[in-house]
């Protein structure tokens, strides 16, 4: 057993079903090809061959990516004989978004601090801008 396999088993060992779902979703979303596949499927359901046409990798490699997405619950596959149609399932993505949103308070505080720095509140020592005075152009003296 490799160290990575041991770590995965340790992580999955005592987790709730919700935590395991999040683990699979984040692992699936970690790959740029899989994220791109999800973008494609966000437009409409596609055949595996239609998904694969967009990538310079083999049909088998795309199929493996799709299987990771299926195991993560992000994609549903419907088979009719040898034809497989894939469609997006946003449930696990929603769960991941809810989990990430729990940490919004940390970056929101940073945004609030930045906003306070960039736009001082009225009466907090900010001086109003003065209007620029128009100055009449000077005339040159003619020297005799």
| Domain contains 3 | no
pLDDT digits (tens, 9 = 90+) for 102-134: 888 888 888 888 888 887 666 655 555 555 556
| Domain contains 129 | no
C-alpha span between 109 and 114 (Å, rounded): 9
92: closest CA among 8, 32, 34? 34
Instruction: Count CA atoms within 13 Å of residue 90 on its CB side.
Output: 7
Domain span at residue 64?
15-93
C-alpha span between 89 and 74 (Å, rounded): 5
| Domain contains 5 | no
**What angle in degrees, to the nearest 10, is found between the helix axes of 59-71 and 32-43?**
80
| Domain contains 63 | yes
List the single range of 12-16, 43-47, 85-89 with lowest mean pLDDT: 12-16
pTM (predicted TM-score): 0.64
| Domain contains 28 | yes
Count of the separate structural domains present in the chain: 1
């Amino acid at each position: 057993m490799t160290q990575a396999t041991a770590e995965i088993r340790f992580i999955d060992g005592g987790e709730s079903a919700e935590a395991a779902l999040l683990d699979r979703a984040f692992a699936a979303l970690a790959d740029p090809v899989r994220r791109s596949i999800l973008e494609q499927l966000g437009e409409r359901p596609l055949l595996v061959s239609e998904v694969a046409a967009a990538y310079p990798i083999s049909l088998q490699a795309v199929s493996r990516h799709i299987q990771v997405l299926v195991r993560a619950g992000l994609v549903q596959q419907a088979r009719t004989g040898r034809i497989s149609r894939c469609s997006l399932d946003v449930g696990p993505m929603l769960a991941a978004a809810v989990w990430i949103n729990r940490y919004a308070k940390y970056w929101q505080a940073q945004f609030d601090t930045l906003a306070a720095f960039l736009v001082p509140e009225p009466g907090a020592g900010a001086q109003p801008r003065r209007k620029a005075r128009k100055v009449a152009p000077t005339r040159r003296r003619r020297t005799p």
